[in-house]
């Protein structure tokens, strides 16, 4: 009995997906709940797991193919069907022999993953010897062929008298590799271009003295970590709380545009930009007005782990009334972040840099950070944008204001 491997049911906001990676190839043994294939959508990567033990059958959708919700991706043969050919190794050898013989006159069969890898490395199927069932070329065969191709020039050292060999570059130093852009990265690019084209976006800047927050963090970080079961006190929680308070004071910054209507939100859902291998993702901290510093830090750390593993869910990335991006983790000193529609503004954090500042008529070296607020001028006036950023600056330079609500 064969079990159909189907694509997951996509949310309403996702029309289709792309087969990102097959983790099992035809003939591979499969255990129940083992990962078979990754489906990449515009927002998240969804995993398809095996429903039962068995052996991987034919693959209907190769890597890179577009699939719809619930579409058949391949077939999983049950354990009994898989055991039948395994019980007769002599027959398997007998079948592989003529197949290998025929391979001299015909192009060998390649699995989808092997074919894609061969094309990326400029290999012809006839150049690769298959070790799979019936002479089939597996992904490992292609990898071995690629490695052999790279090592081939090293096995034949050039004659010392030949001047051309002395200046020739080792093979591989000028290689090029063309890979398709991930759906997530393509969708991000599309949204950014759309935001720049359809939004009256402006950016205002300010700077904040980080010494008060740094002193507070240095004084209580050990006690904080011990009190909250290993959750570390970082800077992001202070920025989230400061932004939350500023959003309460300036509702327009927390609003969004829907057609010809302005939607004012009575809650603060703040997105935190997180970098991943597939692109920038923005999971949402919901109801930050009710979250403590430990809740914020713990949730952000959890989102970071999920982003690295590709485990973020659609629900965790949907919505949001405001976004905070921290380019400082990569060393950015100043930038102009792009608003994430339909939101009306985004706050950009940057690297903390010691600079000489004039304080009470004296030059003092202080840890300073540039802040950038990009906003939609159709909804937010310059006065509101500047006042919003100044409010964040004041709250961070005097963290007691967060407790006293002043």
pLDDT number for residue 45: 79
Residue 17: what pLDDT?
Answer: 86
Record the tokens describing residue 1, joined without a space.
Answer: 């009995």
pLDDT value of residue 310: 78
Residues 6 or more apart from 136 whose CB is under 8 A from it? Answer: 26, 27, 108, 109, 110, 111, 130
Domain 184-404 falls in which CATH fold? Chloramphenicol Acetyltransferase (3.30.559)
Q: What does the alpha-carbon distance between residue 261 and residue 264 come to, in Å, rounded to a whole number?
A: 10
Catalytic residue among 228, 290, 377, 394: 377
Phi, psi at 305, each rounded to 5°: -65, -45
Model pLDDT, residue 103:
44
Q: Which helix (H) or strand (E) holds 326?
A: strand 322-326
Domain ranges of the chain: 2-149, 184-404
Integer Cα distance of 373 and 251 in angstroms = 15
Q: Which pLDDT score, from 0 to 100, does residue 356 have?
A: 95
184-404 shares the fold of 2-149: no
Whether 350 is catalytic is: no
Burial call 75-111: b when 16+ CB within 10 Å, e when fewer: bbbbeeebeeeeeeeeeeeeebeebeeebeeeebbbb
Residue 79, pLDDT score: 64
Rounded to 5, what percent of the chain is helix, strand, coil? 40, 25, 35
- pLDDT tens, N- to C-terminus, the chain (406 residues): 788 888 888 877 677 888 888 888 888 888 888 888 888 887 777 888 888 888 988 898 888 888 888 888 988 887 654 444 444 444 444 444 444 444 444 556 666 667 777 777 777 777 777 776 667 777 777 777 877 777 665 544 544 555 555 555 555 567 888 877 777 777 778 878 888 888 899 999 999 999 999 999 999 999 999 999 899 999 999 999 999 999 999 999 999 988 889 999 999 999 998 877 766 788 999 999 999 999 999 999 999 888 888 788 888 888 899 999 988 888 899 999 999 888 999 999 999 999 999 999 999 999 999 999 999 999 999 999 999 999 999 999 999 888 877 7
| Cα 91 to Cα 86: distance, rounded to the nearest angstrom | 9
Compute the distance between CA of residue 327 and CA of residue 314 in angstroms, rounded to an integer: 24
* pLDDT value for 155: 46
- β-bridge pairing 256-258 and 261-263: antiparallel
Please, what is the Cα angle at 142 between 136 and 144, to 5 degrees?
Answer: 115
Task: Give the architecture (CATH level 2) of 2-149.
Answer: Beta Barrel (2.40)
Q: Is residue 376 flagged as an active site residue? A: no
Directed axis angle between helix 293-309 and helix 211-227, to 10°?
80
How many Å apart are CA 338 and CA 356, to the nearest integer?
Answer: 30
Find, among 8, 24, 31, 3, the residue nearest to 113 by Cα: 24
Distance CA(25)–CA(37), nearest Å, equals: 10
Of residues 277, 381, 394, 405, which has the active-site annotation? 381
pLDDT at 354: 94
Neighbours of 28 (CB within 10 A): 15
Q: Are strands 270-272 and 322-326 parallel, antiparallel or unpaired?
A: parallel
Tell me the angle at which helices 89-102 and 79-86 cross, rounded to the nearest 10 degrees.
80
Distance CA 367, CA 352 (A): 6
Q: How far is CA 154 from CA 66, 140, 141, 176, in A?
A: 41, 22, 20, 20
Six-digit token string for 137: 């070329």
What is the model's pLDDT at position 93?
Answer: 44
Q: What is the pLDDT of residue 237?
A: 93
Select from 66, 36, 69 the least CA-distant residue to 51.
36
C-alpha 386, offset from chain centre:
32
Question: How far apart (Å, rounded) are the C-alpha atoms in residues 360 and 234?
Answer: 29
**Residue 18 forms beta bridges with which residues?**
40, 66
């Amino acid at each position: 009995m064969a079990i159909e491997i189907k694509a997951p049911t996509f949310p309403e906001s996702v029309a289709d997906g792309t087969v990102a990676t097959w983790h099992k190839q035809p003939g591979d043994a499969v255990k129940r709940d083992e990962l078979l294939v990754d489906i990449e959508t515009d927002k998240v990567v969804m995993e398809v797991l095996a429903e039962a033990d068995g052996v991987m059958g034919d693959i209907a959708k190769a890597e890179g193919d577009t699939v719809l919700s619930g579409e058949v991706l391949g077939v999983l043969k049950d354990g009994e069907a898989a055991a039948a050919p395994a019980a007769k190794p002599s027959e398997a050898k007998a079948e592989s022999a003529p197949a290998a013989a025929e391979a001299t006159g015909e192009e060998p069969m390649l699995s989808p993953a092997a074919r894609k890898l061969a094309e990326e490395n400029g290999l012809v199927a006839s150049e690769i010897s298959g070790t799979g069932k019936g002479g089939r070329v597996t992904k490992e065969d292609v990898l071995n062929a690629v490695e052999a191709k790279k090592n081939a020039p090293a096995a034949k050292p050039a004659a010392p008298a030949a001047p051309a060999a002395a200046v020739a570059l080792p093979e591989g130093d000028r290689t090029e590799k063309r890979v398709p852009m991930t759906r997530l990265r393509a969708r991000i690019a599309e949204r950014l271009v759309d935001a720049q084209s359809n939004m009256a976006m402006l950016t205002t800047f300010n700077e904040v003295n980080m010494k008060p927050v740094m002193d507070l963090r240095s004084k209580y970080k050990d006690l904080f970590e011990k009190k909250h079961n290993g959750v570390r006190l970082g800077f992001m929680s202070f920025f989230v709380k400061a932004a939350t308070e500023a959003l309460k004071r300036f509702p327009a910054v927390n609003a969004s545009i829907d057609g010809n209507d302005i939607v004012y939100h009575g809650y603060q859902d703040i997105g935190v930009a997180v970098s991943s291998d597939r692109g920038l993702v923005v999971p949402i901290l919901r109801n930050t007005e009710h979250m403590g510093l430990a809740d914020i830090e713990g949730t952000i750390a959890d989102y970071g782990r999920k982003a690295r593993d590709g485990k973020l869910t659609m629900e965790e990335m949907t919505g949001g009334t405001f976004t905070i991006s921290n380019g400082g983790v990569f060393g950015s000193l100043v930038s102009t972040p792009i608003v994430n529609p339909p939101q009306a503004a985004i706050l950009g954090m940057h690297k903390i840099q010691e600079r000489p500042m004039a304080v009470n008529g004296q030059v003092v070296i202080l840890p300073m950070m540039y802040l950038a607020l990009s906003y939609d001028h159709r909804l937010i006036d310059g006065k509101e944008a500047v006042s919003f950023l100044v409010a964040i600056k004041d709250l961070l330079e005097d963290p007691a204001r967060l407790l006293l609500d002043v």
